Amino acid sequence: MSKRLPILLNLLEANPSDAFALFAAAKEYEGMNDAGQALHYYEKLRATDPAYVGLYYHLGKLYERLNNPDGALDAYRQGCAAARQAGDQHAYNELMGARLNLDHPHDDEI
């Protein structure tokens, strides 16, 4: 277990909707190769704070690693909408690129 995870879990005990702590816990679990727990915290963050733009790229990539392209596309689509709403063009472009790559993974070979 990482040294940061117990601290993050304590933060979440005190404030279960802390967006930063939810995201950081998900990343910690990802780093420990615990996809189930990572997914749990990403999805809890999506339910708690759907405007947290930084979540969607990582959530989509996790769904891709879990061989769930529908889940990944849903995350990328929702992320594009959240990024547009926030005026975050960089995040929008990154999410759109991931989405297009998932929809058409071999277009660059044409």
Let me know the angle formed at the C-alpha of 94 by 88 and 95, rounded to the nearest 5 degrees. Answer: 90
- Quote the mean pLDDT of the chain: 93
Quote the domain boundaries for residue 61. 4-104
Helices 54-65 and 35-48, packing angle to 10 deg: 150
72 within a domain of the structure (yes/no): yes
13 within a domain of the structure (yes/no): yes
76 within a domain of the structure (yes/no): yes
109 within a domain of the structure (yes/no): no
Rounded-to-integer distance, Cα 51 and Cα 80, Å? 11
SS percent in the chain: helix, strand, coil, step 5: 80, 0, 20
Residue bearing tokens 């689509």 = 77
- What's the pLDDT score for residue 110? 44
pTM for the model stands at 0.90
Domain tally, the chain:
1
Q: List the end-to-end C-alpha distance of the chain, in Å, as a whole number.
A: 45
Indicate which CATH number applies to the domain containing 29. Answer: 1.25.40.10
For the ranges 2-6, 28-32, 33-37, the lowest mean pLDDT is seen at: 2-6
pLDDT at 28 over 90: yes
Per-residue confidence band for 105, with pLDDT thresholds at 50, 70 and 90? low
DSSP state of 34: -
50 within a domain of the structure (yes/no): yes
Between 39 and 108, residue with greater pLDDT = 39
110 within a domain of the structure (yes/no): no
